[in-house]
Structure 1
Amino acid sequence: MDVTERQHLDAVRAQLVRRYQFLDPHLVGEMVDTAYHQFDGCRIRDFVPLLVERAAIRSLDAALAAGATTSATVPAAARVEHHLL
């Protein structure tokens, strides 16, 4: 990961922690990390931060719908899957 991509992902993480301030920040970070790793090995990286943000939002919303508030309670269905993007 280059410096610019890291900066964009840090910004996405910070934005989502603020947006989902009522959730455990570690849960938010885990969702961002899980979404990011779905793109490991992709050669074109320009849109990865945007795709990570969208995937993490979907996962966080699914976790909320299932009543999750900590990383231990995140349902498997809320995990990011690359084919959904």
Structure 2
Amino acid sequence: MDRSEENRAIDEVIDRLAQQFPQLPADDVAAAVNETRPEFDHAPIRDFIPLFIERDAKARLRELVG
């Protein structure tokens, strides 16, 4: 997966999470995703990065909503 495909997939993650957490502002959802991204910057295999980011961001968002 090249970086442009990865960025598109991460944009889709933000959209999915915004739908799953409608009680949160879209900016908070995007922030949770963007805070998670640097954890995977140096991963050599990129194919599953969007999945890992979604999983971690979802956990952060669940904490926000209690």
Q: Give the TM-score normalised by structure 2.
A: 0.90
Q: 2:65 is matched with which residue?
A: 64
Matches within 5 A, 1:13-52: 13-52=14-53
| Total equivalences in the alignment | 65
Q: CA RMSD in A?
A: 1.1
Q: Relative contact order: is structure 1 or structure 2 higher (C-alpha 8 Å, sep ≥ 6)?
A: 2
More helix by share: 2
Helix, strand or coil for the counterpart of 1:22? coil
Structure exhibiting the larger radius of gyration computed from Cα positions: 1
User: 1 CA distance for matches of 2:16 and 2:63?
Assistant: 18
User: 2 CA distance for matches of 1:64 and 1:23?
Assistant: 8
- Stretches of structure 2 lacking an aligned partner (at least 5 in a row): none
Which runs of structure 1 show a deviation greater than 6 angstroms over 4 or more consecutive aligned residues?
Answer: none
Identity between Structure 1 and Structure 2 (%): 29
Q: Give the TM-score normalised by structure 1.
A: 0.71
- Stretches of structure 1 lacking an aligned partner (at least 5 in a row): 66-85
